[in-house]
Structure 1
């Protein structure tokens, strides 16, 4: 039996790109399947440190203390809430996020993706998280789904000078993976504060994850979309509506008809 030829570099790169691996986290490859080598002196030191102490005759037994438990997720969420409340403006909120280290996504992302558009706009669109193109440019919705969003809002007379666009998660998850519930809860206070500072007349959530996170619903996007809901900032109530994420419409173009109905409803409210 003739063995299959090994893939070349081009084929490996194509495989990794298809799997969602399109960025490197270090300059040198690391084989994590082998045990690291330990120098003899270091190995003997480790052996001495890990060897349990011999009991002294007549001395009381010593019970080793337990290790400190890892900080609970609630601590990171509470820190994010306190930090978000302290931002008096959008500029201050962006500066705060640039240095916020409570979310691990900041360590793997290329740059912060804060927002785009007009902060004085009457309508605000919120998606879930940036992708590869957004991570490179530092702006939300600039890839294929962003181009479709531009066409969608253009159909009702809007563009990025008349709308404000952001995401629940301001950093790209590695490989475009789905953000974890903890990552979403840590980032949620920041987008809530962002909505409060922009203070739009209409809030549009794009897709199921952003709708559930911001509007606090457990219903799927099929049941939520097209319905007007109230979003309370603590200072005023904003009219909110959910619709499909442009990335979903690229995969399922048959739902563009329903999305067009949602856009017409948004245009009607903005015209009133």
Structure 2
């Protein structure tokens, strides 16, 4: 049975649809009555603990130095240089995770609940890199555990792979962007040294980039539909390995007919693994 047959393209039920909206960051519903939100009066300053003029707290005192948004104050170029140094100093995946936990150069860390480092088998033959954590991933601290992750597991099972034994999974960014928005180029540039080092330390046989941002950030692809399924070489820093891009499971949940394209990519992946055995 193929992945196309195993995954039903039926329309999602109401609960699944609401879950997907929540995962995408849609937190407010519209009712039948129009509301002029601009006419609503703002709360008085006493009710806004950090309401400021020129960035100062009530009473004229500067905001506390311990506020988490202080991470955003790091200049982007300085943050990228720091990331490169920390990544290079990490000689194991555990050391790299510890370095990320102390890194304050990416503002996404201030709004995320958890660092989402990796899941699966670090010694697996395949490493898959997605875009960034979603709501479920941020809550649990693991990549691809929501509806997209469940679909990814079924995709892997269709070619005889499991994340427990065969696949190591990570993301381009280890922190969730607010509302599941697409990461900015600046955020990608700051976090890129860490995922590049993670790939080098995991040392997989094959790299699979899941979704457009991952394919562009790591492989230089533009336009995931045009570039998916194409084999290229990726330089890990210590050797060159085979790499390809495929569509993100979240996209397939919205566009079920495109599963046929991913099935081709999965068969190509399985053929490549069998050829290397």
Normalising to structure 2: TM-score of the pair?
A: 0.74
How far apart are the structure 2 equivalents of 1:235 and 1:175? 36
2:213 is the alignment partner of 1:201: no
Pick from 106, 117, 141 the counterpart of residue 144 of structure 2.
141
How far apart are the structure 1 equivalents of 2:81 and 2:181? 25
- State the match for 1:188 in structure 2: 192
Distance change (3 Å), C-alpha of 1:90 and 1:19: closer
Task: Return the index of the structure with the highest Cα Rg.
Answer: 1
2:210 is the alignment partner of 1:210: no
How far apart are the structure 2 equivalents of 1:114 and 1:246? 19
Pick from 160, 172, 175 the counterpart of residue 176 of structure 2.
172
Computed over aligned residues only, the root mean square deviation of the Cα atoms, in angstroms, reads 2.4
Unaligned 5+ segments in structure 2 are 1-18, 28-39, 61-72
How far apart are the structure 1 equivalents of 2:24 and 2:135? 13
The aligned runs of 1:185-264 (5 Å cut-off) are 185-217=189-221, 219-264=222-267
Unaligned 5+ segments in structure 1 are 1-13, 23-30, 47-69
How far 1:160 moved relative to its partner? Answer: 1.1
Give the paired residue count.
221
2:262 is the alignment partner of 1:269: no
Contact between 2:23 and 2:136, CA under 8 Å: does it hold in 1? no
- State the match for 1:51 in structure 2: none
1:171-221 CA distance string (max 9 Å, x none): 11112122111111111110000000001010000011110001123x201
Please list every run of at least 4 consecutive aligned residues from structure 1 whose deviation after the TM superposition is greater than 3 angstroms.
Answer: 16-19, 31-38
How far 1:131 moved relative to its partner? Answer: 0.3
How far apart are the structure 2 equivalents of 1:119 and 1:258? 27
1:19-64 CA distance string (max 9 Å, x none): 8266xxxxxxxx99457369xxx9xx97xxxxxxxxxxxxxxxxxx
How far 1:72 moved relative to its partner? Answer: 3.9
Distance change (3 Å), C-alpha of 1:147 and 1:172: same
How far apart are the structure 1 equivalents of 2:23 and 2:132? 19
How far 1:104 moved relative to its partner? Answer: 1.0
